[in-house]
Amino acid sequence: MSFPRCALLWARLPAGRQAGHRAAVCSAHRAHCGPPPAVLGRVPALAASSASGGSKAPNTSLFVPLTVKPQGPSADGDVGAELTRPLDKNEVKKILDKFYKRKEIQKLGADYGLDARLFHQAFISFRNYIMQSHSLDVDIHIVLNDICFSAAHVDDLFPFFLRHAKQIFPVLECKDDLRKISDLRLPPNWYSEARAIRRKIIFHSGPTNSGKTYHAIQKYLSAKSGVYCGPLKLLAHEIFEKSNAAGVPCDLVTGEERVTVEADGKQAAHVACTVEMCSVTTPYEVAVIDEIQMIRDPARGWAWTRALLGLCAEEIHLCGESAAIDLVTELMYTTGEEVEVRNYKRLTPISVLDHALESLDNLRPGDCVVCFSKNDIYSVSRQIEIRGLESAVIYGSLPPGTKLAQAKKFNDPSDPCKILVATDAIGMGLNLSIRRIIFYSLIKPSINEKGEKEIEPITTSQALQIAGRAGRFSSQYKEGEVTTMNREDLGLLKEILNRPVDPIRAAGLHPTAEQIEMFAYHLPDTTLSNLIDIFVDFSQVDGQYFVCNMDDFKFSAELIQHIPLSLRVRYVFCTAPINKKQPFVCSSLLQFARQYSRNEPLTFAWLRRYIKWPLQPPKNIKDLMDLEAVHDVLDLYLWLSYRFMDMFPDTSLVRDLQKELDGVIQDGVHNITKLIKISETRKLLHLESSLAGSQSRLSGTLKSQARRARGTKTAGSKAAEPLGASAGELSLASRLVQQGLLTPDMLKQLEKEWMTQQTEHGQERKGTRRKKKEHNSD
């Protein structure tokens, strides 16, 4: 620590010279606190305004204190003690306690941004530092010594306390700079190329299946150059294929894939991309931004905002819900651009039925059962199979190839598969031949704008999107129907669908890597996740914008925090889209980052070993989920390979491997009901073995039930599976289930009966015991 001359001079003043004392405190204070301190007890105007910065008070719970280690023995000895005398630690403790309790000091702390929480934390750290240091800085030592001898006031510790507080909370020193960096007002000004041209904005508005995208794409295809920005890889693929099929050479750019179609590898004039990937510096004649209402998405909305404000195109075609018109018009007002709205009507009729499906027995060809959980998907497809029907299955975590293969199977009129079981992954994108949408449930877990998990009925917008998949103009069904599985849900569905969609009020924003880098420059010892929190808290946005939820980014940042990486690289790793519910994907991010930090390129050979290639076809649902996770890991590799080509060099080999894996998964999903059956049996086996210890009589019941069912003695144990020591008898139940003689429902029923029997027996036994007791006591 520095040794301010003023402090030493002041310390050398003879005790009791009160007039000199105040002047010295002021100069010491100036040296340590920065802004003029004014006289203790008065609010220093300048300090107060600089602390608040004229904005809302920061959320100080985000300020994580840095550790300041107590000083060990110094080679120069204890200079403070030599100049004065060694400190009596008991006295010092009393002084510090008094200092902490002083209202004036607390007030002064608040003027420098130390609210009660920070003041307390800073004090604890300051006290530990003083009490545990072997030798203190000379300036503190002298002041403490003077206070001990009443030659100084306890308040004179404040400059040293504040110096310490700024050390542990460096944010206190640079709040104004941080506010400037995180000022997200006026986002249109971030895109100078777009602001240099006057763009024509056309909003294609209308319900689902009204031809919005179709009309925008017609413009795109007829232009000399164009960019299509879609919400999903599958949609980008669809436009890429349509465009090339129409003789308009078109490239494909998604986070994990780049395809150039020109023979010499030159970029084509048209490109279809996922919205996050669009270039805001390349000039185009026509740009299409699909599903513009996604601008309100709590996590991804920033990508639509960026495309809308930043694309350099003469014409920008927006496709989406009318709920976005007002916001888009307002945003374009700030850029000085007008919006032309074109309204469309649904191309085919759609009706909400007056009756629910009630039972899967009532399924018809062209039906799509929409579930919001994988478990429901499994259970519904299994029940469909039990009814002798075939179903296709589509859910979010399936690889794109598998989704397309399942869609193709369902769409193919000559394929026996006529029922689709899907999550809302079909809500945007795939063109499916659906006649009737059946909502299996209306409850979907979601993340709200504050990043909190909510289990609520789906929104009107979601319900409309999903329902809108029925009776597509291009499909064989020219009329769509919508209903629910359960009668009780039908009223709610109707209510949801009839609610007006709230106009969208704000567009998402996202800090840039540069902004975070500048934050890190000011707060070098702060973790990236904490930097993000502080950034979001400090950021200022105009009313038409909001800062997107960055939970996934923070999750990755925390995961790889301990790995030494430059901030830029760390930032890129954290923007890689990963499914944080997949442990293998998360540990792969960590592993990739670790290899990167060791400067060891992640080669194809290494990756094959890492994922244990070749992988076996899935034998049950768990295997299938594991393969899906491996597919995601390959996606992660590919995503990183476009950002760090030298460290992830084997893009095309990995892509081929991924295609192969997609094939294995496709086969697995093709046989999904078999996998579900095996998994169910396993679950039952597990259930049985856990019941084995406490309910050994169950097996006896099963045995007799089974004997009764078959009229034979099949309870031999030759074919029994090894289920553990106590499960010998129970293996019968397993075999009965496996042989299909006992259905899971029958087993559950038996279990219930057994439990009832147990309870009744128990009550009987209790009753008998009571009677015996009563008898004995008589």
Output the smallest distance, CB 537 to ligand ATP, in A. Answer: 37
Position of tokens 């998990």?
453
CA dihedral 194, 200, 205, 211 (to 10 degrees): -100
Which residue in the block uniquely carries the two structure tokens 């307390």?
120
Exactly one of 125, 135, 205, 210 binds ligand ATP (CB under 6 A); which one?
210
Q: Which span (63-71, 274-282, 472-480, 504-512) binds ligand ATP, by CB under 6 A?
A: 472-480
Tokens 């902004």 belong to: 515
**By the rule CB under 6 A, 649 interacts with ligand ATP:** no
Q: What is the DSSP letter of 282?
A: S
Phi-psi region at 364: left, alpha or beta (left = phi > 0; alpha = psi -120 to 50): beta
Q: Are 151 and 16 spatial neighbours (Cβ–Cβ below 8 Å)? A: yes
- Give the one entry of ligand ATP, Mg ion, none that residue 610 binds, where binding means its C-beta sits below a cut-off of 5 to 8 angstroms depending on kind: none
Q: Could you say whether residue 670 binds ligand ATP (CB under 6 A)?
A: no
Cβ nearer to ligand ATP, comparing 203 with 596: 203
Identify which range of 44-52, 207-215, 414-422, 564-572 contacts ligand ATP by CB under 6 A: 207-215
Does the protein bind ligand ATP through residue 212 (CB under 6 A)?
Answer: yes
Nearest C-alpha neighbor of 109 from the set 177, 7, 40, 54: 40
Considering only residues 336 through 355, tell me which ones interact with ligand ATP, judged by CB under 6 A: 347
Applying CB under 5 A, among 182, 210, 213, 731 the residue interacting with Mg ion is 213
283 is a site residue for ligand ATP (CB under 6 A): no
| Helices and strands (H and E) in the chain: how many | 31, 18
Does the footprint of ligand ATP cover residue 211 (CB under 6 A)? Answer: yes
Q: Which is nearer to ligand ATP, 187 or 427 (CB)?
A: 427
Burial 749-759 (b: 16+ CB within 10 A, else e): ebbeebeeeee
473 touches which of Mg ion, ligand ATP, none (CB within 5 to 8 A by kind)?
Answer: ligand ATP
Which residues are CB-contacts of 396 (< 8 A; sequence separation ≥ 6)? 423, 425
How far is residue 12 from each of residues 18, 30, 87, 107, 367, measured CA to CA in Å?
A: 13, 19, 17, 29, 91
Q: Does 167 bind ligand ATP (CB under 6 A)?
A: no
Q: How far apart are the first and last CA of the chain?
A: 88
Distance of closest approach, residue 432 Cβ to ligand ATP, in angstroms: 10
What is the Cα 527 distance to its own chain's centre?
A: 18
Contacted by 209, from ligand ATP, Mg ion, none: CB < 5 to 8 Å by type = ligand ATP
Find the shortest distance in angstroms from Cβ 342 to ligand ATP: 11
Q: Which residue has the tokens 């179709």?
A: 214
Single-letter amino acid code for the residue at 128: N
- DSSP assignment of 364-385 equals -TTEEEE-SSHHHHHHHHHHHH
Q: Where are the alpha helices (DSSP H) in 102-232?
A: 103-111, 116-132, 138-148, 158-168, 175-181, 192-195, 212-222
What pairing do the DSSP bridges indicate for beta strands 257-259 and 339-343?
unpaired
Say which entry of ligand ATP, Mg ion, none residue 474 contacts (CB below 5 to 8 A, set by partner kind). ligand ATP
Site pattern 386..425 for ligand ATP (x: CB under 6 A): ----------------------------------------
Residue 766, judged by CB atoms within 10 A of its CB (0-12, 13-18, 19+), counts as exposed
Cβ proximity to ligand ATP, 214 vs 644, nearer residue = 214
> Which one-letter DSSP state was computed for residue 295?
G
Q: How far apart are CB 400 and ligand ATP at their closest, in Å?
A: 18
- Compare residues 270 and 472 and give the one whose CB is closer to ligand ATP: 472
Which among ligand ATP, Mg ion, none contacts residue 691 (Cβ within 5 to 8 A by kind)?
none
* Cα 161 to Cα 66: distance, rounded to the nearest angstrom: 15
Candidate ranges 116-124, 372-380, 445-453, 468-476; the one touching ligand ATP (CB under 6 A): 468-476
Residue 322 in the binding site for ligand ATP (CB under 6 A) = no
Per-position x/- string for 421-450, each x denoting binding to ligand ATP as judged by CB under 6 A, each - no binding: ----------x-------------------
| Min CB(239)–Mg ion separation in Å | 10
Q: Which is nearer to ligand ATP, 482 or 589 (CB)?
A: 482
If one asks whether residue 472 binds ligand ATP (CB under 6 A), the answer comes out as: yes
Which residues are 204's β-sheet partners? 319, 342
Distance, CA of 280 to CA of 312 (rounded, Å):
6
Tokens standing for 649?
């060099």
Query: For ligand ATP, which stretch binds (CB under 6 A), given 142-150, 205-213, 585-593, 730-738?
Result: 205-213
The site partner of 703 among Mg ion, ligand ATP, none (C-beta below 5 to 8 Å per kind) is none
- Please tell me whether residue 208 binds ligand ATP under the rule CB under 6 A: yes
The smaller minimum CB distance to Mg ion, of residues 228 and 302, is found at 228
Smallest distance, ligand ATP to C-beta of residue 305, A: 20
Do 549 and 449 form a contact (C-beta atoms < 8 A)?
A: yes
Please, which residue, 222 or 759, has the CB nearer to ligand ATP?
Answer: 222
- Residues touching Mg ion, count (CB under 5 A): 1
Among the listed residues 184, 194, 319, 404, the single contact to ligand ATP using CB under 6 A: 319
Which residues, 6 or more positions from 157, have their beta carbon under 8 angstroms from its beta carbon? 95, 96, 99, 140, 143, 144, 147
Q: What are the residues binding Mg ion (CB under 5 A)?
A: 213
Q: What are the residues binding ligand ATP (CB under 6 A)?
A: 206, 208-214, 319, 347, 431, 468, 472-474
